[in-house]
Amino acid sequence: MQAYALAYSGCAAIFSPYEGLHKPPFSERTRLCRRPRVRDIASLDSPRKHIVNGARQAFLTRGYDGASMRVMTDYTGYSQAGISHYFQSKSDLLIAVVEESSTIVLDSLAVDESVDDITALFKVWRTLTRHRDHVAVRTVVISEASKKGHPATDIAAETMNALKRSLTKRFPTVKQPQIFADIFEGLMKAWLYQPHLDGGTLLRDAHLALSTANETVAASIFTPETSEDFSYELERLTREIFIDTAVDADEKTTDIINAATEIFGQQGYIGGSLRDIASKVGISHPALLRRYHTKDDLLKAVLRRQPEFSLSTMGARTPREAAIKLVKYSGAAENIPGYIPLHTTLEARSFQPGTSHHAFAKHRFESRNALHNHIFSAIGDGGLIRSDLSAKHQSRIFQALRDGVYIRWTFDQIPGSTQLSLAHYLNLILVPPLTEIELASLGIDSNDLHNAS
């Protein structure tokens, strides 16, 4: 601001008709009085690199749809013509940003092979924490790249597969590399909301759970003790996840919210129009506007929605039953078109204070943390988790796994894959492992767990 003040105060002096000041040549006046540009005070990076750096911030803040080329000029300090000299289109610019950030994330896994796995995991996480913007833009783009017509769909899918390959190569003792990769993705997302997250410790515990067998013997029938205090707190925390749970909806309102969820999930909030939603429901555009005056009002109604499956954990009588219902609840989200893509994208893009819906996304994130912690702490207190694992850490790992599985599901959309991955992980950490009856309640056969990877 001081630089701007000096520049414009100098300009005022030059053009002042008072005090008999001599006017400099026109070229000198324009040089002194022009608005300072970002690149005038930028580092001496190459123009291409400087544009990529600015575009990264634009995509982080606005997303791909919201970051127009006109917006790019504000973030990079270059005109649209200047940007076009290096990148023919916005999609080319996005690809360059994602490629750079994905390479940096993958390079963080290049730890000396002589280092043991646990030490390597801590080194990997410390390296990642030096590149917050790169981790963030990679997570944001991957979370929204599954929607129709997104230019980064292929590269996002490839960078996820490359992460799995790198983890598999560096940590060969992990027996379920896909689950480990999903946990890694989920922890990177969680770190955006909690910069002080101890990711190294969580990765260590996940590595331990996935590298060593659950030696406890599975029980055919398992009847844990019930607790009214646990159930009461579970109900309170479950309701806390959703802001404004008392949303009365008639049949037409439900149809509108279902249609909006699907369209916002498939096309994004900016790409999905109210006219498309009205057409899908079978009402006119003005009729939709009478219910929701703006698109933002409709999105808020979608986010306040409380699907029936979301309350499934409230009926649990024991911590173990609640954990199993968490798996069932997470899998049931697959059956609502657009639900997983919408919430996955929104949570990834809203981690920065000041961005749209940050308060909602942060509330959901923290409320889920509290719910998971309540369930897994009670499991640990009851001696129902492996003695070599921390119940508190497993609570965070389980949520990270769910977030990572959701991101992957938006690309492949394999029915039942969410439940299978979460059930597989529970089976590795619970004492005793999941019984045949518990697996049957999830629609999973024990053979499915053995075949999962």
Domain boundaries, the chain: 2-36, 47-172, 228-451
Residue 120 has pLDDT above 80, yes or no: yes
Residue 8 has pLDDT above 90, yes or no: no
Give 316 or 244, the one with higher predicted confidence. Answer: 316
Percentage of residues of the chain with pLDDT beyond 90: 47
What mean pLDDT comes out for the span 327-331?
A: 88
Query: Would you place residue 327 in the very low, low, confident or very high pLDDT band (cuts 50, 70, 90)?
Result: very high
Give 305 or 308, the one with higher predicted confidence. Answer: 305
From 182-186, 212-216, 385-389, the region with the lowest mean pLDDT = 212-216
Task: Please name the residues in contact with 248: beta carbons below 8 A apart, sequence gap of 6 or more.
Answer: none
What mean pLDDT comes out for the span 412-440?
A: 93
Task: Classify residue 268 by burial, with Cβ atoms within 10 Å: 0-12, 13-18, 19+.
Answer: buried
Query: Would you place residue 404 in the very low, low, confident or very high pLDDT band (cuts 50, 70, 90)?
Result: very high
Query: Would you place residue 354 in the very low, low, confident or very high pLDDT band (cuts 50, 70, 90)?
Result: confident
pTM above 0.95, yes or no: no
The per-residue pLDDT for 94 is 94
- Please state which CATH class domain 228-451 belongs to: mainly alpha
Residue 363 has pLDDT above 90, yes or no: no
104-134: burial string, b at 16+ Cβ within 10 Å, e else: bbbebbebeeeeebeebbbbbbebbbeeeeb
Measured in whole angstroms, the distance separating CA 248 from the mean position of its chain's CA atoms is 29
Domains 47-172 and 228-451 share a fold: yes
170-180: burial string, b at 16+ Cβ within 10 Å, e else: bbeebebbbbb
Which token pair is 146?
């599954």
The per-residue pLDDT for 452 is 59
The per-residue pLDDT for 53 is 93
432 backbone φψ class: left, alpha, beta (φ>0; ψ -120 to 50): beta
The per-residue pLDDT for 42 is 41
Please name the residue that has the structure tokens 């039953």. 321
Beta bridge partners of 266: none
Alpha helix (H) ranges present in 16-131?
26-33, 47-66, 69-76, 80-86, 90-107, 117-128
The per-residue pLDDT for 301 is 83
The per-residue pLDDT for 61 is 82
Residue 38 has pLDDT above 50, yes or no: no
Give 228 or 118, the one with higher predicted confidence. Answer: 118
Residue 136 has pLDDT above 50, yes or no: yes
From 6-15, 45-54, 97-106, 120-129, the region with the lowest mean pLDDT = 6-15
CATH entry, 47-172, from 1.10.357.10, 3.40.630.40, 3.40.50.360, 3.40.50.300: 1.10.357.10
- Alpha-carbon span 152 to 191, nearest angstrom: 23
Beta bridge partners of 430: 385
